Structure 1
């Protein structure tokens, strides 16, 4: 009996040893890394929020379909910032930061003032964002090391402040438009993005000898009636009419009401025409509209990456991507690159360092971060400011010449 007992004991040891070897040789079970997205899924900017979600999800689906990264697969979790008020942004940020499985967060824009950057720094959470880069710069530049967490796909907004004036004057110098009065009407919305840009534009136009005939600021939110402001525009017809309200519904209403009794003015609308919803709301009335982008996709033979990503987006969702579908896709992939380099998604310090070292071609151009501001570097050799014009629902890149796919054409109401 004792001999049999000893044999069984020895057999159990052998079986246990063999099982231990098998388990140690087996690959570790893949863990799920959560990626937190801040997005306005409801409210007036919901069209953008949907783009955020689609772009980020497309990148995650691709990574998971390829087997993940070093045993990690990914899940998108979304915090709805709704109307982008401080309370709603804070609630979304705290919920995502409270999830211990979230190891990276991103947004196109959340609060517009970007106050959530301080939350990310305190939590040591790797974070990427775009838009309102002046606010990002104001927070980070005084102490870049404190904000090793946070990096912006969008470069400095300085070009938004200066380059519309230069663009218009260049068109005049080339004989494509005339500027008989050098008068400009500038309308803005009372939010950090629109107001910062309009204030910069006003400063530049004044410095270049222009007269501002209309200077209006509307409350942030839905605006359906622009007629009282447009009446002022018609009283003293300017060469250029600018509206920096970025909400596509507001911008579409402005254009539709301008065209009820148009003046022979060049119309420039900030950002909103890049959102597919704008063309849906204006249809053929959008023909000729001009807008610019910092961080827009360069869908040109000189940057095949943009066409590749845009094509995948349309194939997956059945619609064209606006600015943010492509942008959020690229931002998630920048994180994936950082994870491959760092190795461990829980090592946030290593992830943040890898993010800071990014230098790659993306849909928007060459992405490299300025260590002093954590903004993407701006310029024709990095991420340029691009001007687009809409014709028949399609967006033609008309400047800079290095990337242009077409040329400026006179807006229909100017003929």
Structure 2
């Protein structure tokens, strides 16, 4: 009798949920989110989902868009390996109500762009711009639904030398020599940037003392590399591995016996997890961003998005919370214009015609590469230094929120 009663209760509850009128009259447009929710990049993945849900909740609270309520559906790309990404994509694409997918990054190579094109799936992405360009630029018309809100990563490879030269010539950075040590993990993003930096530093007359490549994944011990660095005592040390846990260990192990070297770490210091792990040991480290939050008085949109994120989740976002928030709004704008989420090619065309101020700057797309346009009038590259737990934007000067300072271990 007890079991029978439980079954009756369950059936009654099911019937109630089946007839609840809350939004039964609303059509649903699902937005798939590809995100690494497990593994070393899980902090990024969680932020991606948070950013997308923040935007969806706002849009739905305002009545939806074009007669549709939006819904987030998540696919975990795990370690970003090809089979993990493909499996996550297939789960999302198999849902007939999923007619758009957004991500910060799903894989290191962005190979999934080909899958999106095959299914005419609107796909907004942020990271790995070099890979996006290499896939799309040979035949941009074959990818009408794929667009990157991040510009070309060429500036990651080319802008470092002039920024260092500018700091040195102004007297803000005192260089003991013109030697640079480079290290990377073996993934397309980090490796490509390291190789580009090596080429540009050598062309500028610098001596590259090392350009080591380590297997991609968790790295617990950087001491072998750092031992070689201490022998060469370069003026600049650059680590392009982007995982915040790896970067935190690198920084703390460097400070065990620091050299008179400026330390630059690619991307990872922008992730809140990095500061949580390093605390005051992060003071002085430098990083840069393309497509990061341009939180300056000249771009009030960034402060607006960051505040909304902080109010909802109780912590400051890195790059991908605001990025996914903006991607969802770009899709909502396109859906409002087209009126039907199943008209994927029209949605893709509307996305490509977007031109609006976002948290990263002024967004417009290059039709030849489907990347955001880079520059001070578009999405600028930003150089930051962490100081006492705060991120100080010191370059470009037109957007700067503070000045570069000599790191404490160099003083």
Q: Is the counterpart of residue 108 in structure 1 residue 96 in structure 2? A: no
Instruction: For residue 180 of structure 1, report the CA deviation from its aligned partner.
Output: 3.3
Separation of aligned partners in 2, 1:43 and 1:91: 16
Q: Is the counterpart of residue 154 in structure 1 residue 113 in structure 2? A: no
Q: In the superposition, relative to structure 1, how do residues 228 and 92 fare at CA in structure 2: closer, same or farther (>3 Å)?
A: same
Instruction: For residue 28 of structure 1, report the CA deviation from its aligned partner.
Output: 9.8
Q: Is the 8 A contact 1:365 1:383 kept in 2?
A: yes
Q: Is the counterpart of residue 288 in structure 1 residue 284 in structure 2? A: yes
Q: Is the counterpart of residue 68 in structure 1 residue 64 in structure 2? A: yes
Please name the residue that 1:11 is paired with.
none
Q: Is the counterpart of residue 200 in structure 1 residue 196 in structure 2? A: yes
Q: Is the counterpart of residue 321 in structure 1 residue 341 in structure 2? A: no
Q: Is the counterpart of residue 219 in structure 1 residue 215 in structure 2? A: yes
TM-score (norm 1): 0.93
Separation of aligned partners in 1, 2:355 and 2:235: 41
Q: Is the counterpart of residue 78 in structure 1 residue 74 in structure 2? A: yes
Structure 1 counterpart SS, 2:168 = helix
Please name the residue that 1:344 is paired with.
340
Please name the residue that 1:22 is paired with.
none
Q: Which has the larger radius of gyration?
A: 1
Separation of aligned partners in 2, 1:199 and 1:278: 24
Structure 1 counterpart SS, 2:217 = coil
Separation of aligned partners in 2, 1:322 and 1:180: 33
Q: Is the 8 A contact 2:66 2:335 kept in 1?
A: no
Superposed CA deviations along residues 178-236 of structure 1, whole A, max 9, x for unmatched, are: 23321000010100110010011001001000000121111000000000000000001
TM-score (norm 2): 0.94
**What is the number of residues matched between the two proteins?**
389
Q: Is the counterpart of residue 129 in structure 1 residue 125 in structure 2? A: yes
Task: Select between 388-397 and 359-368 the one with higher mean Cα deviation.
Answer: 388-397
Please name the residue that 1:20 is paired with.
none
Separation of aligned partners in 2, 1:412 and 1:336: 46
Superposed CA deviations along residues 118-157 of structure 1, whole A, max 9, x for unmatched, are: 0000000000001110000000000000000100011000
What does 1:6-405 correspond to in 2, within 5 Å?
Answer: 29-405=25-401
Structure 2 counterpart SS, 1:402 = helix
Superposed CA deviations along residues 267-305 of structure 1, whole A, max 9, x for unmatched, are: 100000000000000000001111000001111110000
Q: Which runs of 4+ in 1 moved over 3 A?
A: none
Two-structure CA RMSD over aligned residues (Å):
1.0
Structure 1 counterpart SS, 2:256 = coil
Separation of aligned partners in 1, 2:228 and 2:172: 26
Q: Is the 8 A contact 1:29 1:71 kept in 2?
A: no
Structure 1 unaligned runs (5+)?
Answer: 1-26
Superposed CA deviations along residues 340-367 of structure 1, whole A, max 9, x for unmatched, are: 1111111111101100100000010000
